[in-house]
């Protein structure tokens, strides 16, 4: 059986022979392996049954990974194509659907909602609100409609159907004059789903499938959740008890609230959705939407100048950060599932993650994976590239997981194109904050402090066959997982 070191060296030699990878790309692949080790440890520590993650660079899925079990009863494993309820990420697809009708001239962003839904006539509460609710206001969560309808349907999981929406909203009334306050509204986005079906003459599900899912090749996306196990869907689970046990969430569908929270997708689907946006920006060739339309969706359409902490929205897209970079995307939180998608349109990098529990925030997973995998790598000139290839080749035998037995401590040794090693803390919430070590001699490295001085010694140990088996740091010995000492 080949050792992990032998496999890594074989992969390195194969890539060089093919001429496909630069030293920077080799480091990036090592970073993805480190991200996999970190992600798995996070899922184990948080007792998550299943989690998936994907990274998009330019227009390609650079890395995808699945951990755990999608159905604990059957033992079905999670895969990158495993689907989860993406809940409020559904709003992005509903918003794209609305904008396809805007491009066709069938919907006007600044027209009154009642132009398309004549029965929509909500009251205004105690104060008279005479400014109409527009499509733009609904897309940017500034229409002043309540978040939800009457009744505890998020508790009972018995959601109103499309026919009940307008009656439900009319009985609720309005909270604010449009464009005066941020008010996130599942009801408002659900009404936009009804606009799509009314204007197009097709059901919301058929329209979104025909106009978005099919053209973009989002093969496993659907506008409702399965009642029975279809072999793709990850069962949702409740919070764990004191013994670490989780119970399955009973199946449900969102009915009329599907446009706001009812879609299901895999990380591969959401990665494809991100790649489409980068492709559209790069080529300018119309695909589902015109480039200018998507840019308009990403731009800020609502922010509260009186509240710097208030969320900022485009048309459907929420503004956020990916590291230190401005990003757009959305999160999703429904009973038994959580998901998150963040896109950096300028850098053409996107990260998405999903879990089938509610007590782990996938936004933190996205931030951590991005911090570990997306550092800018120094360019290597052609005349130095051969030397760097030799250097990173020599470092690859050190790569891998190192752990203490039976203690919550573990590191991933990461070789870099600059000729140093980085130690990734597998138990850190910020694995991108690594320790860098400079080669000194033989199997000895020294920690490089922020001021450039050399600090602690990292000493690797070999077994009788000359294979790396452990390292010593600060008087503690960590064993290489899969090595002879392990």
Q: What is the pLDDT of residues 378-425, one digit of tens each?
A: 334 444 555 556 677 789 999 999 999 888 889 999 999 888 999 999
Helix, strand, coil share of the chain (percent; to 5)? 35, 25, 40
Lowest mean pLDDT among 1-10, 177-186, 288-297: 1-10
Residue 295 scores a pLDDT above 80: yes
Residue 451 scores a pLDDT above 60: yes
- pLDDT given for residue 301 in this prediction: 95
Give the whole-angstrom CA distance, residue 463 versus residue 485.
8
- Chain mean pLDDT for the chain: 90
Which single residue is written with the structure tokens 């929509």? 120
Q: CATH assignment of 84-359?
A: 3.40.710.10
- pLDDT given for residue 1 in this prediction: 37
Q: What is the pLDDT of residues 254-278, one digit of tens each?
A: 999 999 999 999 999 999 999 999 9
Give the whole-angstrom CA distance, residue 117 versus residue 398.
64
Q: Do the Cβ atoms of 316 and 383 come closer than 8 Å?
A: no
Residue 63 scores a pLDDT above 80: yes
* Residue 310, C-beta contacts closer than 8 angstroms, at least 6 positions apart: 182, 303, 304
Pick from 150, 181, 184, 164: nearest CA to 120: 164
Does the reported pTM lie above 0.95? no
**Residue 190 CA: distances (Å) to CA of 28, 270, 377:** 41, 21, 44
Please name the residue ranges forming H helices in 250-340. 258-261, 267-283, 291-298
Q: Do the Cβ atoms of 212 and 96 come closer than 8 Å?
A: yes
Q: Do the Cβ atoms of 439 and 419 come closer than 8 Å?
A: yes
- pLDDT given for residue 119 in this prediction: 87
- pLDDT given for residue 122 in this prediction: 77
Phi and psi at 154, nearest 5°, equal: -70, -20
Give the whole-angstrom CA distance, residue 257 versus residue 55.
29
- pLDDT given for residue 96 in this prediction: 98
Compute how many other C-beta atoms are within 10 angstroms of the C-beta atom of residue 430: 12
Pick from 225, 195, 209, 210: nearest CA to 119: 195
Element holding 414 (H helix, E strand): strand 410-415
Coil, strand or helix: which one is 57? Answer: strand
Give the whole-angstrom CA distance, residue 356 versus residue 358.
7
Q: Do the Cβ atoms of 196 and 204 come closer than 8 Å?
A: yes
Q: Do the Cβ atoms of 302 and 285 come closer than 8 Å?
A: no
Q: What is the pLDDT of residues 18-37, one digit of tens each?
A: 344 677 778 889 999 999 99
Where are the domain boundaries for CATH 3.40.710.10 in the chain? 84-359
């Amino acid at each position: 059986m080949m050792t992990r070191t032998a496999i890594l060296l074989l992969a390195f030699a194969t890539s060089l022979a093919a001429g496909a990878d630069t030293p920077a790309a080799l480091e990036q692949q090592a970073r993805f392996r480190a991200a996999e080790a970190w992600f798995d440890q996070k899922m184990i520590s948080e007792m998550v049954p299943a989690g998936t993650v994907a990274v998009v660079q330019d227009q390609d899925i650079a890395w995808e990974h699945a951990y755990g079990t999608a159905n604990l009863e059957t033992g079905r494993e999670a895969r990158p194509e495993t689907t989860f309820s993406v809940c409020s990420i559904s709003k992005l697809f509903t918003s794209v659907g609305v904008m396809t009708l805007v491009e066709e001239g069938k919907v006007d962003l600044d027209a009154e909602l009642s132009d398309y839904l004549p029965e929509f006539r909500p009251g205004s509460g105690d104060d008279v609100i005479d400014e109409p609710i527009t499509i733009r206001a609904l897309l940017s969560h500034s229409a002043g409609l309540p978040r939800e309808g009457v009744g505890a349907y998020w508790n009972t999981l018995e959601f109103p159907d499309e026919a009940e929406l307008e009656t439900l909203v009319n009985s609720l009334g309005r909270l604010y004059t449009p464009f005066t306050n941020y008010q996130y509204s599942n009801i408002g986005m659900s009404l936009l789903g009804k606009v799509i079906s009314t204007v197009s003459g097709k059901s919301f599900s058929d329209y979104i499938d025909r106009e978005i899912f099919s053209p973009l090749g989002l093969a496993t996306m659907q506008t409702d959740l399965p009642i029975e196990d279809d072999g793709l869907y990850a069962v949702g689970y409740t919070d764990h008890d004191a013994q670490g046990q989780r119970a399955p969430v009973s199946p449900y569908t969102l009915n009329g609230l599907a446009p706001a929270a009812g879609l299901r997708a895999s990380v591969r689907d959401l990665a494809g959705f991100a790649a489409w946006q980068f492709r559209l920006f790069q080529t300018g060739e119309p695909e589902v939407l015109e480039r200018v339309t998507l840019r308009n969706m990403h731009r800020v359409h609502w922010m509260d100048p009186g509240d710097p902490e208030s969320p900022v929205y485009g048309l459907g897209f929420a503004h956020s950060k990916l590291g230190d970079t401005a990003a757009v995307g959305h999160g999703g939180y429904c009973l038994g599932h959580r998901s998150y998608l963040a896109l950096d349109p300028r850098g053409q990098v996107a990260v998405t993650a999903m879990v089938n529990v509610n007590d782990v925030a996938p936004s933190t997973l996205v931030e951590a994976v991005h911090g570990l995998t997306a550092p800018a790598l120094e360019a290597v000139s052609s005349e130095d590239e051969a030397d760097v290839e030799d250097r990173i080749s020599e470092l690859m035998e050190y790569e891998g997981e190192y752990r203490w037995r039976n203690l919550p401590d573990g590191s991933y040794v990461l070789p870099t194109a600059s000729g140093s090693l980085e130690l990734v803390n597998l138990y850190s919430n910020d694995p991108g904050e690594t320790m860098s070590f400079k080669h000194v001699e033989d199997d000895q490295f020294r920690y490089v402090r922020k001021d450039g001085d050399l600090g602690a010694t990292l000493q690797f140990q070999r077994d009788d066959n000359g294979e790396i088996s452990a390292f010593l740091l600060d008087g503690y010995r960590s064993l290489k997982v899969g090595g002879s000492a392990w």
